[in-house]
Amino acid sequence: MVSVYDVDALKLVRATAIKLEEMKLEAPKWVGNVKSGAHRQRLPQDEKFWFMRCASILRKAYLTPQIGVSRLRTHYGGRKERGVKPEKHSRAGGNMIRKAMQTLEKAGLLSKSKKGREITGKGKSLLDSAAMEVSRAQVA
């Protein structure tokens, strides 16, 4: 059986984002009007940015037993240009990550624990089925 570890991460996230969009997850109204962090210069250009971010968070929760907003802020952060001064790492905004995790919790894909959030059986099966689709598409 094919799992999340066996397929390309970007293809898996795209396939999972399509499945999440079919589940009709509600995106906050402000998602297309804010940057994803202080290190970004522009708003997200992709129309499906919310679903891609949710799918990516779900994949990270699959790979890491317990994950929280702080670690994800570091993961999604990046290099901030500061003019003539050297660049520094800047963390991503936490509100977008928090709202995505709350949306995934409402859908039953994530659950809260004492040390963060962990993926549920429903979330694992969603990612495994997306991984199966991706592996079939690679073979064909």
Q: Is 80 helix (H, G, I), strand (E, B) or coil?
A: strand
Q: Is the separation of the CB atoms in 59 and 47 below 8 Å?
A: no
Other CB atoms within 10 Å distance of the CB of residue 41: 7
CATH numeric code, 4-139: 1.10.10.10
- Could you report the per-residue pLDDT of 68-126, keeping only the tens digit for each? 999 999 999 999 999 999 999 999 989 999 999 999 999 999 999 988 999 999 999 99
What pTM was estimated for this model as a whole?
0.91
The torsion angles phi and psi of 89, rounded to 5 degrees, stand at -75, 135
Within 8 A by CB and 6+ apart from 65, the residues are 118
- Ranking 44-48, 53-57, 79-83 by mean pLDDT, the lowest is 44-48
Q: Is 111 helix (H, G, I), strand (E, B) or coil?
A: strand
